[in-house]
Structure 1
């Protein structure tokens, strides 16, 4: 490693992953790029995570172990943000505590950003794997033909939290992960980043593996909470889009409008009382439109408000604007 190499901060939130995080940390130790610090932030584990982390911190001083402060909201988002506050690297990599880095993950991305100093981040491809060893590669849209926000929502130009290596100088003045969201947090974060018109590169290399068929760090027994987070996310996008300009903006706004009203239908379907359904139905007023679609959907949801028929919102799928892009 060159003496001129810069520090990379790897930030990993964790919750009750003592049986998995060791494999993740071993993949960090195996990195061919060695000038890193790994900041693990515990979101309140009740298993043996603390004992396991002590063995890694004792073995290698590049590991740090912190607990999310009691004053911060529980969840991986607060842990990610808290880890960022501790980071000292010129580059930042968020990762998850049950996934695996390929040995050249950091070195490959570090080289790209070193050779292209105008880039704010670069992001790679990834693979999914399960407990029986099956691996599936995921190809994202490398070079979208349309504006990045349009491509992000309508052309598959997306990336996971793990995929980018960021210049910290770019992130320092950005709002990071929304600590109130329980679902949609990474798409929310990346969308808001794209509104700042960053310079970035999506490259072809498959550099990490994401574990499938395992409980998410954001899992909750009350499934209404993540569904409400999805609505909050789409509402944020809908209103942010009002304030910015880009090519094909109205097509994207139409798609997000559809996602908002469809999510209201999904939430209504989970309520047993008219009062519970009314809580979400009244939110339709925020998305009023003179378009015929609005009146049709309003009628669907009004009938659902009264009758609580569980099938009604599926019929809204035909209004998915992606087919009309």
Structure 2
């Protein structure tokens, strides 16, 4: 470790990843930039993961391993524990199945120096893959749209490992959420007016797309995850309100709420449906009259037409919502890939080289 260079703290939660963590470990210890510490927080693994990461720590004193000993269980809690013990000037959140390019830290620290250390975090392009780097498919690039609105609409402008953040400017992760932790974290970072910039550079992280992080429909509707939708919506509404941004993004919030509303109706979870509508009234996104229209009419239509009625419900909900004509078109919420994700690496590299000139 070079004492003249800033330390980068890499924080990784782990749960039952014995088959993948060794590959992640290799990507960390192969960094050309050597002033780093890797904090791995075990979330109660039931396989051999704890023993494996203990061996990592014995082999390299830059690696620290911790067992989560407080509740709640989950990656947000583990990341917060990592933040509590981190000593680095900068932080990167790395998932236990993702990989760093060997030049990742060097590229990011050089960019920080080049920018004069004036931003709270920098965001870098990353690539996604499935089993190995030869099947890389998507390149994640910055959106041409409002990043905050994109996060609210789930058109995620960047994934967890894309930013490098000043530790003193990093906020706590929301430990109550069983879903959408990354989106919640980034929304609150932006609302808190953390300054940032997207850096056009070579992709330096490989984000693994697996069945584990592609949650099945059945898992999405457990009681804990249904409740998480309510917590998530309330949390971002409160953050936007405190940041005096709620009015600006009320239509995006309504569009997000519609997703949750139809999840609840499709599962006959009317108590959660009512909670979402109550939140929309509380934050003055809909009126009390609109609350009753939506609460009474949408379930009636659904019960008549069942799940195939969801497109009808989308249109009906807009008719019952007073600012329909100004709200975000339903089709816009489908633009998940938009300009930020390109399958053609040549197209990106052309933009990358142009940015260098």
TM-score interval, smaller chain: 0.7 to 0.9
- Residue 163 of structure 1: aligned partner: 162
Choose from 160, 177, 180 the match for 1:181. Answer: 177
Alpha carbon RMSD of aligned pairs, Å? 3.0
Are 1:196 and 2:192 matched, yes or no?
Answer: yes
Are 1:284 and 2:277 matched, yes or no?
Answer: yes
Displacement, 1:140?
2.7
Q: Number of residues paired by the alignment?
A: 313
Cα distance in 2, alignment partners of residues 2 and 20 from structure 1: 29
Matched-pair contact (CA < 8 Å) for 1:128–1:212: yes
Displacement, 1:130?
1.1
- Residue 140 of structure 1: aligned partner: 141
Higher mean Cα deviation, 304-313 or 204-213?
A: 304-313
Q: Which residues in structure 2 correspond to 1:94-113 (within 5 Å)? A: 94-113=93-112
Query: Normalising by the residue count of structure 2, what TM-score does the alignment of the two structures yield?
Result: 0.77
Cα distance in 2, alignment partners of residues 105 and 112 from structure 1: 11
- Residue 223 of structure 1: aligned partner: 221
Cα gap change, 1:136/1:231 in structure 2, threshold over 3 Å: closer, same or farther? farther
Cα distance in 1, alignment partners of residues 303 and 28 from structure 2: 55
Displacement, 1:51?
1.9
SS of equivalent to 2:137: strand
Are 1:43 and 2:43 matched, yes or no?
Answer: yes
Matched-pair contact (CA < 8 Å) for 2:234–2:279: no
Cα distance in 2, alignment partners of residues 269 and 195 from structure 1: 32
Matched-pair contact (CA < 8 Å) for 2:298–2:313: no
Cα gap change, 1:262/1:137 in structure 2, threshold over 3 Å: closer, same or farther? closer
Cα distance in 2, alignment partners of residues 54 and 152 from structure 1: 36
Cα gap change, 1:59/1:217 in structure 2, threshold over 3 Å: closer, same or farther? farther
Displacement, 1:61?
1.1
Task: Return 5+ residue gaps in structure 1 as ranges.
Answer: none
- Residue 83 of structure 1: aligned partner: 82
Cα gap change, 1:309/1:8 in structure 2, threshold over 3 Å: closer, same or farther? same
Matched-pair contact (CA < 8 Å) for 2:278–2:291: no
Cα gap change, 1:184/1:112 in structure 2, threshold over 3 Å: closer, same or farther? same
Query: Normalising by the residue count of structure 1, what TM-score does the alignment of the two structures yield?
Result: 0.84
Q: Which residues in structure 2 correspond to 1:236-255 (within 5 Å)? A: 236-245=235-244, 250=247, 252-255=249-252
Cα distance in 2, alignment partners of residues 90 and 198 from structure 1: 16
Choose from 256, 266, 269 the match for 1:269. Answer: 266
Matched-pair contact (CA < 8 Å) for 2:156–2:183: no
